[in-house]
Structure 1
């Protein structure tokens, strides 16, 4: 399912899927702006989560999750897209718990295959 050439997942079996994307961002604190995390299918946004950075404590890191249950066809390409508009840099491979590097995650679980 994973396609390293595109850093994406390619559906092999059509059906209903539970898609989940997660990211941990390390950033310089800034009380303005927003961050969004999207699950895209064939380049189009199909699920979206937006965080208003004014409501996130100024800890220097923030986690974000987006999920959806979608009907997908064989050959569909699933990708995770992150955008942050805070005016400061953010790093998506953040270190948590002092020494553990956490990379962005995208999972696709087949719930019901096509008949």
Structure 2
């Protein structure tokens, strides 16, 4: 996978993130070594696209999902982001807090 292809995938994901108004979410695109806490990662390694979530120390939560093609990995990436938005809204409603602040779930 060359850097030009990766850049095209990044642009596609960033476009959808803007459309969904997910800019305030924590995510990392194609940088496996980035240690942003609570981020959802999508990256390419050993011929596979991979998606995982990280905790407050940037350790992988659960498992890393592996895909042979970008479209399946992209779908999983957005499913995880959608879940985070739902969980954030639920936790704010039930407990008053979530792992980090976002206008997608914070009370005005």
| Structure with greater Cα Rg | 1
Relative contact order, higher structure (CA 8 A, sep 6+): 1
Structure with greater proportional helix content: 2
TM-score strictly above 0.5: no
Q: TM-score, normalised by structure 1?
A: 0.27
